[in-house]
A and B are shown apart, each in its own frame.
Chain A
Amino acid sequence: EDKVVQSPLSLVVHEGDTVTLNCSYEVTNFRSLLWYKQEKKAPTFLFMLTSSGIEKKSGRLSSILDKKELFSILNITATQTGDSAVYLCALVEYGNKLVFGAGTILRVKS
């Protein structure tokens, strides 16, 4: 019934590892997909994806959208303890309404 499903729910890795976070969704008609990082306070924006197959990159983080298979992934390479956070994905529906997934809790151990 959830429109946006994130996996895994939580993940523990060691510094230097590479992680892949998944976001699958059911809606086929949407404006864009967003990724957020939430540490202790408010979510902060990471990426907006609108087109399938085009990778967005920012430092060690990258993300891609697959509109055919209805999913997006967020990759983090060479993880650091500062990457520990909850990662949220959200669909932007028409009408500018966002539907969030439950999030993936990432913990990076030193």
Chain B
Amino acid sequence: DAGITQSPRYKITETGRQVTLMCHQTWSHSYMFWYRQDLGHGLRLIYYSAAADITDKGEVPDGYVVSRSKTENFPLTLESATRSQTSVYFCASSLLRGGFDTGELFFGEGSRLTVL
């Protein structure tokens, strides 16, 4: 199916463990993003990527690592999970159509991560 998919949708882990959240999109969108959503903070940008092999930090990058070896995949890794990383994580992608940039994001359904 076309679209943007995240996995796993739900994950419970323990402090100190490594966790990877996967994101896959089938539109060949150039831009991909990872956001976390917490009550009172809205959506905060963790990392984003303008193209394969190009990534950049967002607002709250500490404790996270990303990679983008292929245009369609943008995994997010928590190298040593902490309780403060309990959150809902959204992956998104954006189309850049020549000189017209809509800026519109297409979101995945979210991954709810609980760190005990």
Contacts and interface: CB of A to CB of B under 8 A. Distances in A.
Interface string B83-116: 0000000100010100001111101111000000
Contacts of A16: none
A52 B58 CA distance: 28
Contact of A96 (B40, B42, B59, B96): B96
B45 interface: yes
Contact of A100 (B43, B50, B102): B43
Interface residues of B, number: 25
B33 to A, nearest CB: 7
A34 interface: yes
Interface residues on A, range: 20 to 34
Interface in A61-96: 88, 90, 92, 95-96
Contact of A42 (B41, B58, B104, B107): B107
B114 to A, nearest CB: 17
A66 to B, nearest CB: 19
Contacts of A99: 45, 59
Nearest to B38: A102
B109 A32 contact: no
13 contacts: A32-B103, A42-B90, A43-B105, A45-B105, A48-B103, A90-B43, A96-B96, A97-B45, A97-B58, A98-B103, A102-B41, A102-B42, A103-B42
Given A31-B103, A92-B101, 10 more contacts: A6-B42, A31-B101, A48-B103, A96-B94, A96-B103, A98-B33, A98-B105, A100-B35, A100-B42, A100-B43
Interface of B: 31, 33, 35, 40-45, 48, 50, 58-59, 90, 94, 96, 101-105, 107-110
